[in-house]
Amino acid sequence: MSKILFISSEAFPLIKTGGLGDVAGSLPTALLKQSQNVRLLLPAYPEVLYKIKEKKIRASTSFYNQPVDIVETRLPGTQLRVWLVDCPSVYHRPGGPYIDERGHPWHDNALRFAIFCHTAVAIAMNQFKLKWQPDVVHCNDWQTGLVPALLSLQKKRPATVFTIHNLAYQGLFDQQTFDDLQLPEQLWHMDGLEFHNQLSFIKGGLAYADRITTVSPTYAEEICQPEMGYGLDGLLSYRKQKLSGILNGVNEKYWNPGTDFHLVQKYNQKSLNKKSLNKTALQEEFLFDVDASIPMIGMVSRLVEQKGLDIILQALPRLLSMPLQLVILGTGDLHFEMLLSEIAQHYPDRFKVVIGYNELLAHKIEAASDIYLMPSTFEPCGLNQLYSLRYGTLPIVTPVGGLADTVINASDKNIKNKSANGFVLKEHSLTALLNSIHHALELYAQADTWRQLQVNAMNCDHSWGKSAHQYIKLYQQAITDNPA
């Protein structure tokens, strides 16, 4: 049994903007179930404080003259102990974890997450005498990147693991910020926190963690190449022996069509014919033609370039002339939000765009749709294709990252050997997308084949238990690698 301090800037159901929230709300609990001794460290945003019932201050300190309390609570609905970094001057504000109400990054994000990291380091080094010191500190994404760097300067320190959920977000700030944060001089060099004269939070993880992981084996390969490495491919290739990919999982507590309380009609492999009642309910809600035989395509996503919105927008005129219904729920770049909403106005009977973050609707779309659209330009892992598989909603994806590792194309051969569970584009292009959609619609018209594909999809095992098992092995390796 290891003691693991799991550090994340979001965790469902307390706070979530994307897949990281799902992972941090699921993996620590899965580790706990496998007898690991885990604590989750999270900033105390107002939304988080509002949602928790019990709380107890375990320690108090200050960083950069800002008072900080460590507040203990539990992740709602679980036994997992959560330590909240409560620093009112930087976290108690309306807006999101990373952006303000107008959608701009907080002006003091470097300070906000430096305080988070310093608190993590103090806990890791047992400075608060909390009667609990971790063997492993598991950091996630750039917001936690300073932790492995700062810990590397300590003599007797826990092992460090850094997980890349998305290399596109690096936490880059100017050199002045490095000085203002009074970070140790010895960390400022090209093999350290410096990245072309800028301070890079993520490099703190990539350069100093004992082990680096990312969320799929294919993405682990891709980020070592210049095309997807964002200039960090050299460092990642250099550290390749320490880099591996572990797939994310599906939290059955929230994403199981047999028990999902959000659904009008629950269903499972054996009662798949009931799935379409979710579709007819959504058709009614959106004032579409109510007809279970019309194929419905769904998408729930951050509306950013990564998610393939370029080719989706190009495909829309053709797509909307086909006998199908299309539903998109998302929020993100204003430009995409406006374009999609504008187009949808012209097709009220078959195209619905809902802008915003809506957990209930996300579940309803997963259950109602026949086909799920996810033609990402890159995808470290992706959770929505996993949820789609679980819900018998066949994903259409590009052959990248975690999508390539989890979706098996409905080729004749794969249909025959019962491994096919979705549709994989030949490449990221409009033509490839339209070809895959045509292919999906053709197979949708063959009820028996479609049913078999759905069963194949629903039988895939993407349980968190499986991934947690791999992380536990990795923690052992990190502990062995730790030179301190």
Please report, as ranges, the residues that interact with ligand ADP according to CB under 6 A. Answer: 18-19, 22, 300-302, 329-331, 357-359, 362, 382-384
The option from ligand ADP, ligand GLC, none interacting with 329 (CB < 5 to 8 A, set by class) reads ligand ADP
Kindly write out the interface string for residues 388-417 of this chain, putting x where it contacts ligand GLC by CB under 6 A and - elsewhere. --------------x---------------
The distance of closest approach from Cβ of residue 280 to ligand GLC in the complex, given in angstroms and rounded to an integer, is 31
Residue nearest to ligand ADP (CB): 19
Q: Which residues make Cβ contacts (< 8 Å) with residue 184, sequence separation at least 6?
A: 150, 153
**Nearest residue (CB) to ligand ADP, 243 versus 353:** 353
d(C-alpha 379, C-alpha 364), whole Å: 23
Residues 137-166 that bind ligand GLC (CB under 6 A): 165-166
Q: Which stretch binds ligand GLC (CB under 6 A): 292-300, 373-381, 416-424, 458-466?
A: 373-381
Choose, by CB under 6 A, the member of 382, 392, 395, 422 that binds ligand GLC.
382
Q: Which stretch binds ligand GLC (CB under 6 A): 14-22, 26-34, 62-70, 187-195?
A: 14-22
The option from ligand ADP, ligand GLC, none interacting with 215 (CB < 5 to 8 A, set by class) reads ligand GLC
Q: Which stretch binds ligand GLC (CB under 6 A): 15-23, 347-355, 433-441, 473-481?
A: 15-23
The distance of closest approach from Cβ of residue 383 to ligand GLC in the complex, given in angstroms and rounded to an integer, is 5
CA 385 to chain centre: 12
Choose, by CB under 6 A, the member of 4, 7, 14, 23 that binds ligand GLC.
23
The distance of closest approach from Cβ of residue 169 to ligand GLC in the complex, given in angstroms and rounded to an integer, is 8
**Nearest residue (CB) to ligand GLC, 64 versus 357:** 357
Would you count residue 223 as binding ligand GLC (CB under 6 A)?
no
**Nearest residue (CB) to ligand ADP, 135 versus 379:** 379
The option from ligand ADP, ligand GLC, none interacting with 440 (CB < 5 to 8 A, set by class) reads none
Cis status of the peptide bond prior to 13, with omega within 30 of 0: yes
Residue 446: CB atoms within 10 Å: 12
d(C-alpha 403, C-alpha 401), whole Å: 5
Residue nearest to ligand GLC (CB): 19
**Nearest residue (CB) to ligand ADP, 16 versus 279:** 16
Nearest residue to 57 via CA among 84, 87, 93, 25: 84
The distance of closest approach from Cβ of residue 337 to ligand GLC in the complex, given in angstroms and rounded to an integer, is 19
**Nearest residue (CB) to ligand GLC, 75 versus 404:** 404
The distance of closest approach from Cβ of residue 107 to ligand GLC in the complex, given in angstroms and rounded to an integer, is 23
Q: Which stretch binds ligand GLC (CB under 6 A): 17-25, 120-128, 269-277, 352-360?
A: 17-25
The three state secondary structure string of the chain is: CCEEEEECCCECCCECCCHHHHHHHHHHHHHHHCCCEEEEEEECCHHHHHHCCCCEEEEEEEECCEEEEEEEEECCCCCCEEEEEECHHHHCCCCCCCECCCCCECCCHHHHHHHHHHHHHHHHCCCCCCCCCCCEEEEECHHHCHHHHHHCCCCCCCEEEEEECCCCCCCEECHHHHHHCCCCHHHCCCCCCEECCEEEHHHHHHHHCCEEEECCHHHHHHCCCHHHHCCCHHHHHHCHHHEEECCCCECCCCCCCCCCCCCCCCCCHHHHHHHHHHHHHHHHHCCCCCCCCCCEEEEEEEECHHHCHHHHHHHHHHHCCCCCEEEEEEEECHHHHHHHHHHHHCCCCCEEEEECCCHHHHHHHHHHCCEEEECCCCCCCCCHHHHHHHCCCEEEECCCHHHHHHCCECCHHHHHCCCCCEEECCCCCHHHHHHHHHHHHHHHCCHHHHHHHHHHHHCCCCEHHHHHHHHHHHHHHHHHHCCC
Choose, by CB under 6 A, the member of 5, 11, 14, 20 that binds ligand GLC.
20
Kindly write out the interface string for residues 412-441 of this chain, putting x where it contacts ligand GLC by CB under 6 A and - elsewhere. ------------------------------
Would you count residue 380 as binding ligand GLC (CB under 6 A)?
yes
Residue 281: CB atoms within 10 Å: 17
The option from ligand GLC, ligand ADP, none interacting with 384 (CB < 5 to 8 A, set by class) reads ligand ADP
The distance of closest approach from Cβ of residue 481 to ligand GLC in the complex, given in angstroms and rounded to an integer, is 23
Would you count residue 383 as binding ligand GLC (CB under 6 A)?
yes
Choose, by CB under 6 A, the member of 15, 124, 149, 215 that binds ligand GLC.
215
**Nearest residue (CB) to ligand ADP, 140 versus 280:** 140
Q: Angle between the 309-319 and 430-444 helix axes, to the nearest 10 degrees?
A: 50
Q: Which residues bind to ligand GLC, rule: CB under 6 A?
A: 18-20, 23, 165-166, 215, 248, 379-383, 402
